[in-house]
Structure 1
Amino acid sequence: MTSVQRRNLGIVVGAGVACVIVILWMFLRPHYVTVFTGLDDKSMGQVETQLQTLKIPSRMTGSSIEVPASQADTARVQLAMAGLPTSGYIGYSSVSNSMGMTQDQFNIQVLDALQQSLNETIQSINGIESAQVHIVMPTQQLFVSQPTDTAKASVFVQLGSGVVLSAAQVAGIQQLVAHSVTGLSLQSVTVIDQNGVDLSSSANSASLQGAAANELSVKQQLEQNLNSQLTQGLTRIVGPGNAVVMVHANVTFNRVQSNSHVVQPAAGQSTGLPSSSSVTRSSSNSTGSAPGGIPGQSGTNPNLPTYGGTVGGGGSTTSSQSQANTTYDNSWTNTQTISDPMQIQGVTVGVFLNAMDPNLSASMVSQIQSFVANAVGLKTGTGANNNITVVKIPFSTGNTPTKSGILLSSAWLWAALAGVLLMTVGGVYWRRKRRTARLGMETVTALPPLEEFPVSPETQMREELGRLAQHRPEEFASLLRSWLSQD
C-alpha cells in the first residue's frame, strides 16, 4: 500500500469516527426542558441551589430554569416538597407531545400550564398572597345531537391581613380567567377567599346595585330637568307661586337589537331583473300498428271518438317537448338596528294651578295644557304613552307665615330671651349682695370690744392743731405767727 493510499485510508477512518461520535452525541445528549419560568433573581438562586443539592443538572435561560427531560418530573416534585419556587410558573415549553401520548394526556399538560400561568398572574395583584385556579373543560361529545357542557372555573385566593378586594378587582379576576379559556363565560367563574366567602356573587350583586343606582339617578335627573323647565315657563305665565308641577318619567334601559332582510323587485317591474335563461327541447319517434280504439269500444259505444298519434308511412309516431327557464334576481337589503339602551316610554305630568288667581280663565288652562305637551316633546292624542293633567285648585295661604311675621316672631323671641337672662343675672346679683351683707353683720357683732388707752397731752394737742388747720385755717395761721413772734 502506497503512502497516498494509507493517507486516504486514514482520512476516511477519521471522518467515519468523527461522524459516529457526532451522531452518538446528538442522540445521547440530555434534552433540556423548561420546568419553571417567570422567576425573579431570588427564586432562581434558591431553585438552582436546591437542584445542585439534588445533583440534578440544570441551566438558566433568562428567567427560566431548564433540566433534562428525564429528570423534569423529579425536579418538580422535589422542588415542590421544598416549597420552591416562591414565584414563577410551569412554562408551556415543558409541554411535549411524545410518542405514545394520547390527545387527552396532551390536553391535560396544556391545561396545567394554563392554570399555573393564571396562578402567577393573579398573585401579582396587590393584596393577594397566593392563588389557585381550577379549570374544568367540557367533555367532547361523539354526536352533534348530544348536549355539550360549558367550561367552568374556580379561583381560590389567599388574601393578606386586613385586605378586602373591591368589586372591580373581583370582576377583573373573572375577566382574566374567562378570556384565557375558550368557551368560558364570565358567569361561570367563581372567586372564593380563604374564609370560604364567595366574592364573585358579592361583586355581581354590587355591580347590579351600581347599575340600578345609576339608572335611578338618570331617571331622577331627567324628571328634575323637565320639572325645572316647566316651572320656569309657567312662572312667566301665571306668576310665581301660582303653579305646582309634578313629573314622572317612564324610562327603560333595555338594549334591543333587531335584524331585517327586505327583498324588493326592480323599479317599475313586478319581478326582478333576469340573470339567466335556458331552453330545453326533446323529441321522440315510435313505430307501431294503425291507431284504433279499445277492443269492443265501437260496438258498445259508437259515439266515443278515437285518439291516436301522427300516422306516417308504416305507422310511425313523432312527439316533441320544449321548456324555458328564466332566473330573476331581486334587490335585497339587510338592516341591523341597535337601539339606545335608554328609552323614554312616556311622561306623566301633573300641573296644579291656583284657582284663586282672577286672571286664570278656561282658555288659559287649555293653552297651558298645550304648552306643557309641547314642552315635554312627546305626542298627544290616540296611541300616546304620556299623560298630561292640568287642574285648578285653591292654594292654601292661611297657614303660611309671611316674611314680616317671621321677623316679628324672631324679635319677640329675642326679647323674651333677653328678659329671662336679665332676670337671672339680677337674681344672682341680689342673692350674692344679700349674702355678703349678712356675713358682714355677723362679723361686726362677733368682734370683741375695743380696749381704751390713755391719750398723752402732746398727742391731744397735735390732734387739736390738725383739726384747727383743717377747719379754721386763718386762726391756725394767726396762732402760728404769734408762736413765731414769741420765739
Structure 2
Amino acid sequence: MANALLDPMTQLLNSPAKRRGLAVGIVLLASVATFGSLIYWNSTPDYQVLFSNLSQEDAGEMVAKLKEKKIPFELSPGGTSILVPKEKVYDVRLALTAEGLPKGGGVGFEVFDRTSLGTTDFVQKLNYQRAMQGELSRTIKQIKEVEQARVHIVTPKESLFVEEQKKPTASVFLKTRAGMSLSASQVEGIVHLVASAIEGLDPSHITVVDTSGRILSKRNDSSLIGQMTTNQLDYQRNLEEGYKRKIQGMLEEMLGLNKAIARVSADIDFQQVDITEERFDPNGVVRSEQKNSERSSNNSGVRVPE
C-alpha cells in the first residue's frame, strides 16, 4: 500500500520537467518571503532616543503627554529613556521642551503657576524652598560630568534676637557619569553657586557628597585635630580617582564598556616627623685655622701683638 503511494510520487520527482517546476516554485516562495520581510521591516518605524537618564517623575509625565498626543513611543528596560520614531524626534523634543519637560526630577519655580489665593504664608515659603532646590538641581545637572543632582536647603526660623539667629545650611548630592569625576575647582564652583543663590548662606555651611558618601567640598576648619587639610584631601581624591580609572579601564576591557564599576578608598598616613640633627666628625680635616696671641707690658700698659 505504501509502495503504491510512493511510486507515483517518485516518478513525478524523477521527471526532469517536474523537477524544474518544483525548483521554480521553491524560488518563487523564497522570493515572496524575502519581499514580505522587506516590506515588514520597511514599514516598522526606526526608533531613536528622545530623552535619556530621566527620573521617574519626568518619564511618567512624558509618557502621559505622548499618549495624549497619540505619538508612538517605546520605553527602555529601565524606564529611564524614551524612544520615538526617527522622523519625529526633533519635533516631539521641541514640543515637550516648550511645555517645561523634562523638569530634572524636581519642581522649579513653575510651582507658583498653580498657586491659589488661599495659600498660607507657610506654604508659600515651603514652595519657594522647594522651587529653589529644584532650580539649583537643574542648574548643577548642566555640568557634563553630573548625571543626577539633588539640593537640600535648611532655613532656620527667624529669631527675635540677632545673636540667636542661626545660619542656613545646604547639602548637595551628586551622581557623576560613568568614568567621569569632578575636579576640585568644579566642586568649589558648585558650592559658590548654591551660596550665591541663597541669602545668608556661607560657603563653609555647604556640604557636597557623591554616591559613595565621600565629602567633596573643602572645609575651612581643616586645622582642627583629626581633620585633613585641603591639600591632603585633594591628594587623596586625585589618588583614588587615578586608581579608579585604571582599574575600571582594565575591567571594561574584559567585560565590556559600562559593564564594570570600580571604587577606590585610599587610607593615607599624612603624619610627618621633623628631625634636626647635628653631626661632628672627630676624624674630619680642618679646613682653615687662625691663631691670635697678644703680649702686654705692665710698665707702658700697651699691648703689642706678636
- Give TM class, smaller chain: 0.3 to 0.5
Larger Rg: 1
Q: What TM-score, normalized by structure 2, do the two folds share?
A: 0.42
